[in-house]
Amino acid sequence: GSYKFTRNPENYNRSRSLEVNSKGVGIVSRSKAGDIALSLAAFVRGVKAVVWINGCSANAGLPLYYKNRQLLPALMFDHKKVFSTNSGAVISKYAMPDPLKPEGRDSLVPIERACGSFLFVASEDDLNWDSKAYMENMVERLTHNGKENFESVFYPGAGHCLEPPYEPFCSSCMHPFARMPALWGGEPRAHVAAEVHLWRKIQEFLRTHLSCEAAQTKSKF
C-alpha cells in the first residue's frame, strides 16, 4: 500500500499520520495529540496502529465530540500546579489531575475497545506530562482486560519533545497553551539517543501492523 506522512511544523503538539491504502491507518502522536489518537483508535474503525508519545491517558483540556455527541468529558488543567522556575519558564508535569481518581475516571479513553495495536512511549524526564504514570496505567488496564495488542518503551534521561532524529535538542520553548516559555526536560545525550532508537522502533512497529512493504517505507535516516 502507499502511504502519506503529514506534519505541521508550527505546532509542537503535532500529530502525524500514515494513511495506508486498504490496510488501515497508523497514527504517530505526541503530547495532547496522544489522547486524540487514543480516542480515534477506540471510537473510529480503520485505525490499525497508534504510536503514543508522552501524552495523557485521558481526554485532556476539552470535551470530545463525535457527530454532535459528546463521547468523553474533559480532564481539566489545574493552573495552580503549573510552577515557574528561576529562568521564568514553567513546568506543568503535575498540572493535570489524576484521571484514576473518581472525579476523573469518566475522561479516561476506553482503549480496551480498540481493535488496533499500540506503541506507548514515555520519557523519564518529561516535564510537561506525567507520561510514565499514564503509560503504566494504560498497560495495566489493557493487561487486566486480557489484551496483548501493545508494546511499551521507556527512555531514562529523555524529555518531552521526542522528535525524528538529528534535529536540534529542544529543552525549552513557548508553550502553545500556557502562552509562556516551558521546560520540556531531558539530558541532551540521552535524549538524542532516544530519538534515534525511537525512530527505528516506530518504523518497525508501523511496518508490522500496517503490512507495508519494507521497500515502500524505507527510511532515509
**Burial class for 41, CB neighbours closer than 10 Å (0-12, 13-18, 19+):** buried
Please give the order of strands across the beta sheet that includes 181-183.
Answer: 83-84, 90-91, 181-183, 172-174
Q: Scan for cell 487486566, then name that residue.
A: 144
**Marked catalytic residue, from 15, 35, 123, 126:** 126
**Marked catalytic residue, from 160, 175, 191, 209:** 160
d(CA 49, CA 61): 24
Based on the residue annotation, tell me whether 160 is a catalytic residue of this protein.
Answer: yes
Which of these, 65, 64, 61, lies nearest to 75 by C-alpha position? Answer: 61
**Marked catalytic residue, from 31, 92, 123, 171:** 31
Q: Which residues are catalytic?
A: 31, 126, 160
